[in-house]
Amino acid sequence: MKLDLTLSHHLAGESLSFSWDSDTGTLTGPDADRARRMVERADGKVTLPAWPEMDAPDPLHNSASFALIFASYGYHLPPELEILLPELTDDLPTDAVA
């Protein structure tokens, strides 16, 4: 799947513009290097508020992992990625620290 993305940040008011090809695992475009560094920094793990660390394996090929990483950085995702996020409920996992 190839997506041309412009992700806006919820708080910072900035955006990232790049293309992502999940079949080849490549990022191209104006902000591709910055997006790649963000994926690398996550190192296959993400933490969302009030939830324990979650695995995000192979994010350049795995759409759900890719979505988790950019959501964890506070970016608004397009619908085709947002639906891949885990549903967060009011029930905290038993090992979560509030």
**What residues are paired with 3 via a beta bridge?**
20
What burial class does residue 59 get, using C-beta atoms within 10 Å of its C-beta: 0-12 exposed, 13-18 middle, 19+ buried? buried
For 34-91, what is each residue's pLDDT tens digit? Answer: 999 999 999 988 877 666 788 999 999 999 999 999 998 989 999 999 999 887 654 5
Does the predicted model carry a pTM greater than 0.85? no
Tell me how far apart the alpha carbons of residues 54 and 86 are, in angstroms, rounded to a whole number. 10
